[in-house]
Amino acid sequence: MVTFNLAYTAPINASKASPTLNQAQVWAGLKRKVLRAQDFVPIIEECIVLVEEQDHASGNVTVTREVRFKTGSEPAAGSGGALVREVCMHFAPCRIDFKQPDGSTVSNIVSEGPDGKLMMTYAFEWRYPGVKEGSQEAKVLEERSWTTAKMAVHGTIDTIRRLVKDGEITV
């Protein structure tokens, strides 16, 4: 089995980006992404929310959902076309963890850089049972993982910005 641990970070408000997004808008967008993943990540074609629960002590929300990755573009080996169950744990207002049954985890993190500007980081632990470490297949999957990571971060920021522009996120 091979496991890839990688993270990618991008500024949320890069120069000339308009409108400028604030923490509340980004958090509202990430919560929406849990419920409508296909609007944010092009390799996801369907998202079905099964359960949404709130922990009364912490106020944190956990959503159990199923997502369907487009065949041939999935981050998890062999998941293309099949529904993959994910448990999405919210840690307001800065992080959502997405856990898959094979142990793969993705964290969407909103933070401030040293200059006070908002940043978005996706940290991934993608597991590929049945793939031999150091193999050509592992190298291809690792390259695809980096491409997917970059696309997911930038796609999420762009989608949140569009939703704010269109008045669908109003905080």
Alpha helix (H) ranges present in the chain? 23-35, 136-165
Q: Is 73 in contact with 85 (CB distance < 8 Å)?
A: no
Residue 28 CB partners (closer than 8 Å, separation 6+): 160, 169, 171
Q: Digits of tens for pLDDT over the chain (171 positions)?
A: 899 999 999 999 998 999 999 999 999 999 999 999 999 988 889 999 999 999 988 889 999 999 998 886 545 444 567 889 999 999 999 999 999 998 999 999 999 999 999 999 999 999 998 899 999 999 999 998 899 899 889 999 999 999 999 999 998
pLDDT on residue 77: 44
The predicted-structure confidence for 74-95, as pLDDT tens digits, reads as follows: 454 445 678 899 999 999 999 9
Q: Is 61 in contact with 35 (CB distance < 8 Å)?
A: no
The domain segmentation of the chain, as residue ranges, is: 2-165
Going through 13-156 in order, the beta strands assigned E by DSSP cover 44-54, 61-69, 83-91, 95-99, 105-112, 118-128
CATH superfamily of 2-165: START domain (3.30.530.20)
Distances in Å between the Cα of 84 and the Cα atoms of 74, 75, 102 are 10, 11, 10
In total, the chain counts a number of residues equal to: 171
Q: Is 107 in contact with 2 (CB distance < 8 Å)?
A: no
Residue 171 CB partners (closer than 8 Å, separation 6+): 24, 25, 28
Token readout for 110 is: 């909103």
Distances in Å between the Cα of 11 and the Cα atoms of 82, 134, 161 are 33, 32, 13
Residues 164 and 166: their CA atoms lie apart, in Å, by: 5
The predicted-structure confidence for 28-45, as pLDDT tens digits, reads as follows: 999 999 999 999 988 889
Tell me whether strands 95-99 and 118-128 are parallel, antiparallel or unpaired: unpaired
* pTM for this predicted structure: 0.89
